Amino acid sequence: MIKIQKKNFNLEKEIKNIKDNLSSVGAVSSFIGYVRDFNNNEDVKSICLEVYYEMAIKELAKIKNNAIKKWNLADCLIIHRYGELKVSEKIVLVACFSEHRKNSFEACKYIMDFLKKDAPFWKKEFYYKRSSWLKNTI
């Protein structure tokens, strides 16, 4: 499942909604990304995430399907927020569901590396005296 949304999410509820239907799953590996209060040697006030929605859905579906095939996942959840986010708010959730932990760990890292480097999201950080667009890097 892929969700690109402005609203916050409840990670326990999101994971439970999928896990409850997958009795063969013995491992769920997840990554949750938050807005940090300090970056580039400056105090961060907030961030603004922009997204090319149609392209993001297409690219995330492709990377999710690749991960499911490569690591034999039972399912995969990607939630990515956009819009203005304050310090300590959740930005992203990736959860990979598999029979064994190794597959879910590796798939989760693979998806997050893609999101950080190649997904069509752009992040502008707002500091107390200026703002700056960030480069996508792993």
CATH of residue 67: 3.90.1170.40
* Domains identified in the chain, total number: 1
pLDDT at site 103? 96
pLDDT at site 109? 97
Q: What integer is the mean pLDDT of 61-90?
A: 97
60-to-19, 46, 80, 84, 113 alpha-carbon distances in Å: 21, 25, 10, 21, 12
Please give the residue range of the domain that contains residue 44: 2-133
pLDDT above 90 (res 80): yes
Cβ within 8 Å of residue 129, ≥6 positions away: none
pLDDT at site 138? 67
Residue 74 domain flag: yes
Q: What percent of the chain has pLDDT over 90?
A: 92
Buried b (16+ CB within 10 A) or exposed e, 22-32: eeebebbbeee
Residue 53 domain flag: yes
Residue 138 domain flag: no
Residue 30 domain flag: yes
Are 108 and 31 in contact, with CB atoms under 8 Å apart? Answer: yes
pLDDT at site 114? 94
Provide the mean pLDDT of the chain.
95
pLDDT above 90 (res 137): no
Are 58 and 130 in contact, with CB atoms under 8 Å apart? Answer: no
pLDDT at site 134? 86
**Tens of pLDDT, residues 29-69:** 999 999 999 998 999 999 999 999 999 999 999 999 999 99
Q: What integer is the mean pLDDT of 80-88?
A: 98
Cα 45 to Cα 37: distance, rounded to the nearest angstrom:
7
CB burial class (10 A; 0-12, 13-18, 19+) of residue 128?
exposed
Cβ atoms within 10 A of the Cβ of 7, count? 8
Q: What integer is the mean pLDDT of 71-98?
A: 98
pLDDT above 70 (res 12): yes
